[in-house]
Amino acid sequence: MEGQTFKRIRLALGFTGDELAHELNVSGNYIRLVETNKKPVSELLEYKIMDQLRRRYHSNDPLFTILT
């Protein structure tokens, strides 16, 4: 996942960088580094943000799973 995609998801979830950092148990600085492509999005971080997206939209739709 690219940093720009990560940021779009964060914005879609309605979080500030610091709020998302708190939800994902990482630092706000780490979120900023990820969003500017200075740090890679780890598999664990990608899983956590996609889980937030699924929970926000309560999506068990198989199409959502295919798209993500």
Which domains are present in the chain?
Answer: 3-58 (1.10.260.40)
Could you report the per-residue pLDDT of 18-50, keeping only the tens digit for each? Answer: 999 998 889 999 999 999 999 999 999 888 888
Share of the chain above pLDDT 90, in %: 44
The residue type of 68 is T
| Short-list 28, 23, 50, 52, CA closest to 39 | 28
Whether the predicted model's global pTM rises above the 0.75 cut: no
Contact between residue 38 and residue 27 where contact means Cβ atoms under 8 Å apart: no
| Distance spanning both ends of the chain, measured CA to CA | 10
